[in-house]
A = this chain, B = another copy of it.
Amino acid sequence: MAEQEVPPLIRSKPMNGGDGPHSYSKNSYYQRGAIEATKKMINEAVKEKFDLENTYFNTSKTIQIADLGCSTGPNTFFTVENIIEAIILKYQDEDISTSSKNLEFQVFFNDHADNDFNTLFRTLSSPPKYFAAGVPGSFYLRLFPQSSIHFAHTSYAVHWLSKVPREVIDENSSAYNKDSIQCSGFNIEVAKAYASQFKNDLNNFLNVRAQELVPGGLMVIIISVLLDGVLMAKSTIGMCYDFLGSCLKDMANLVRNYNP
């Protein structure tokens, strides 16, 4: 059984639920672009690397797929359909009829327990094209039984760290991130603290996935990156965050100096 300690500072920040104008569901077109762009890469990866000869494939009649950090949709549905399409193509290329094999797909949609799974479930396609399940929990911990997932996917999610590094919020630390709502990269101690946290988180992520993936399976990780030497504060998104941070500080100062 999965008896793991949940680190005390893990605080999930769920995407906005529902499907209203401020929901993630209606504000994730950029992320959808990435899904379209990676479709071809997923096809190629499945074609080259998915090992149908492996015992975990040829003894099982079910292919299990996980989308880690799925949010409320609909992007996760497009992703999953692309993956299933790629796997069916692979079977066809190897001249195996999926219907003669009675092949079935089970898809696990994972996100934090306070993600809006209700919206996710209500917007699943009907009739269902696969067996769907929601899996609540941090993807930095074990989520699935050993050797049970054939294809793991995560898109725009592993940049969400498991926690804010302690030193960044400690006023007495040289890594105290006093003037910024993000890691802009100007304070090298802050950058180091975040880099160390990311390294630690990604290490955990890879370790638990290694236990969950079947031998011969596949994992695709899509994540925003910066070229070496480029500061976050010099990127478009970094500038937006700094601008937003500056507005927030102005608003906080207004309240602090408010004297009716």
Contacts and interface: CB of A to CB of B under 8 A. Distances in A.
A122 interface: yes
A172 interface: no
A133 interface: yes
A129 interface: yes
A89 B139 CA distance: 31
Nearest to A118: B118
Interface residues of A, number: 41
A133 B124 CA distance: 16
A117 B121 contact: yes
A253 interface: no
Contacts of A106: 144-145, 148
A-B pairs, top 4 by smallest CB distance, nearest first, are: A62-B145, A121-B136, A133-B133, A134-B134
Interface string A53-74: 0000000011000000000000
A104 B145 CA distance: 6
Given A2-B104, A113-B122, A118-B114, A132 B135 contact: yes
Contact of A136 (B6, B108, B132): B132
A129 B1 contact: yes
24 contacts: A1-B103, A1-B104, A1-B105, A1-B129, A2-B128, A2-B130, A2-B131, A3-B127, A5-B127, A6-B127, A61-B147, A114-B121, A117-B134, A118-B118, A121-B136, A124-B136, A128-B137, A131-B143, A132-B135, A132-B136, A132-B137, A133-B134, A134-B134, A134-B135
Nearest to A17: B118
Interface string A10-30: 000000000000000000000
A102 interface: yes
A47 interface: no
A167 interface: no
A118 B105 CA distance: 24
Nearest to A128: B2
Interface in A79-129: 102-106, 108, 113-114, 116-118, 121-122, 124, 126-129
A142 interface: yes
Contacts of A124: 113, 136
A33 B92 CA distance: 53
A186 to B, nearest CB: 38
Contacts of A122: 113-114
B121 A133 contact: no
B2 A145 contact: no
